[in-house]
Chains A and B, each alone.
Chain A
Amino acid sequence: MRSELTPGHLGHEFFRPDSALWWLYCALVTVGGIGLVLEVGPGLMSTSFTLWVIAPIFVITLVLFAALVLVTDPYRSRRRWMLFAAAIYGATVATWFSLKANNVVIAVVPRLLGNTEGSEWSAAIAGPTTEEWTKGIGVLLIMLVASRTLTRPMHALLVGGFVGLGFQMVENVLYAANGAASNVNSDLAGALSVTMMRSVIGISSHWLYSAIVGVGVALLLGRVVGARWGMGKRIGGCALLYFLGWGLHFLWNSPLPQNLLAVVIMPAKIVLSIVVLVLVVRFAWRQERAYLAGAQTAIAEGAGADKGIELPAPAVQTAIGTRKERKAERKTVKKASGKAGRKALDLHWRSYLNVLQAWDRRGTGIDEDRWVTGQVPLPASDTAEALG
């Protein structure tokens, strides 16, 4: 029974030595990491000075894009360990397998399309074909390892985003090394131009494609809120999102015309990618709000052995509202209580969302301490007064 669990019974959603999937994850990361070092190590060593010089750009890009992925998570669905595991998978396994497979695809495409067209289109075909596949399998593996806690499309979107981000960061370093070595004038000029370009256009890069594919993986696994999806709908939904991710990646890698049109086409590709991501995020948010509303009701009414708990003030409950409702509430509170009141509201929202998110993990042995101590940290019902 849930309420009898004590902290001594708490489990970990990632460290699961009883699961072959966990061992597989560890083995793949080890093999992928070593394979990657052997494959690209000499190239990195020969340009290491330049790479260290531009390393701050890599770090800034990583922080910015990690923050960007988390911006898509206003309902605090994130599971930090799993996002870290996702990024490590993307940086090692997905990168190494894709490198190996890309070499084969790049050799095949010119055979099919002819040397000139094949050379121009090989990146457009190889990139999405091998990379979205290996990254998507990473999302699948992590969703299966943490099947008790990654239960909704929003979780998969975040895992996908971080698998893609890990991949993107390693690729940035490899491209910089390649740019340094192949530039005819200097290592720094080659590495810097490639890195600056990739840092700017990275807004519509691997993290975005994998976030979209990730939601597809959640659908395939039936990790949806509400009525169960039939197998056909699950496969169809997954296929649709996979091909959206693949298609955006293909479009991005497609050759640009060697004229002024390129100046228009490149931003258009970025805008299209962001529009598709927004649509997918909105679906994930709708699902998340449906879950949160259900959790709120369950907490208020009591479920199983737990007694009902008084909910916080309506202002705090708006945490699970739509973007528009949340924005309006923050505006109202700011008008009444100034910036301090708005900050207080944000803190209450955060605390409330953490509790609602933890509700889904009851019975899993993970985060049970929120419930076994009898001190459910819901914001007080008189929060509205505190907020003015």
Chain B
Amino acid sequence: MKIVDVGAAVGIVALLGWTWLGPTLVKSVVSDPVIVVGSGERDSISAPAGEVSFVAPPSWNKQTTGRLGTAIYTSGDKSLYVEVVDGVTDIDRASQRRLAALSQSGITAAFDGAAATAGDGFTGKRCVAIQSSSKSTGTCAIVAKKESMVSVVSLGQSFGTQADLQPLLDSLELAKNAEDGDE
């Protein structure tokens, strides 16, 4: 049996391959902008129920994530993830679900029994975290205030070198309009 349409089939493969190849070529020529966090500089994450602001570690690089609600900072092999979600109705249940969500994103975490305190009335729990893809370990905290919940994860490849979470937690602030809206 003679096979026909070989040229057309090759053309389709090339066109389909372009779906991934085109953006990959663009990505290779567009460098990731380096955004260095200034000393004392406040950053913020918007979520439908309100904006949460905080002070990220100075001199760390802020990464582009492409996701609203998430900020990532790096310094060498250390990384710091901050994520804001809202619509929380049951804080304990939501905290457990945030751990599960972290696990789905590749960070396995478990509460260590310690309470987490943070600025502006945010309270919650401390946890430990492992990211096997980067062979990193570290600490984390999940804190909440009203409907907003913030997850902060600090990872590093060397034990004990991770960034301290507490300064960032202490700097947390829920935007005024979010608080007004809830009252």
A243 interface residue (CB < 8 Å to B) = no
Instruction: Tell me the chain B residues, 95-110 only, with Cβ under 8 Å from chain A.
Output: 97-98, 100-101, 104
Instruction: Tell me the chain A residues, 101-151 only, with Cβ under 8 Å from chain B.
Output: 101, 104-112, 114-115, 118-120, 122, 129-130, 133-134, 137, 140-141, 144
Residues of B within 8 A of A175 (CB): none
A104-B9 contact given A111-B33, A119-B65, A183-B97, CB 8 Å threshold:
no
Instruction: Tell me the chain B residues, 121-177 only, with Cβ under 8 Å from chain A.
Output: 149
B8 interface residue (CB < 8 Å to A) = yes
B30 interface residue (CB < 8 Å to A) = yes
B178 interface residue (CB < 8 Å to A) = no
A344 interface residue (CB < 8 Å to B) = no
Q: Are B66 and A107 in contact (CB under 8 A)?
A: yes
Instruction: Tell me which of A21, A93, A108, A114 contacts B9 (CB under 8 A).
Output: A21
A184 interface residue (CB < 8 Å to B) = yes
Interface residues of A, count at CB 8 A: 46
Min distance, Cβ A139 to any Cβ of chain B, angstroms: 11
A141-B62 contact given A105-B23, A120-B68, A184-B87, CB 8 Å threshold:
no
Query: Which of A12-20, A48-56, A371-379 lies on the face that meets chain B?
Result: A12-20
**Cα distance, A139 to B66, chains bound together (Å):** 30
Instruction: Tell me which of B3, B30, B90, B101 contacts A108 (CB under 8 A).
Output: B30
Residue of A nearest to B71 (CB): A115
A359 interface residue (CB < 8 Å to B) = no
Q: Are B66 and A20 in contact (CB under 8 A)?
A: no
Interface residues of B, count at CB 8 A: 46
B6 interface residue (CB < 8 Å to A) = yes
Q: Are A185 and B1 in contact (CB under 8 A)?
A: no
A21-B8 contact given A104-B23, A134-B19, CB 8 Å threshold:
yes
Sample of 19 A–B contacts (CB below 8 Å): A18-B2, A20-B9, A28-B16, A97-B16, A100-B20, A107-B27, A111-B32, A119-B66, A137-B12, A144-B5, A181-B100, A181-B101, A184-B86, A184-B97, A185-B87, A185-B88, A185-B89, A185-B90, A185-B94
Top-8 shortest CB links A-B: A110-B64, A20-B9, A184-B94, A104-B23, A106-B66, A24-B9, A20-B6, A21-B5
Show the binding face of A for B, using Cβ within 8 Å: 17-21, 23-24, 28, 42-43, 46, 93, 97-98, 100-101, 104-112, 114-115, 118-120, 122, 129-130, 133-134, 137, 140-141, 144, 181-186, 258
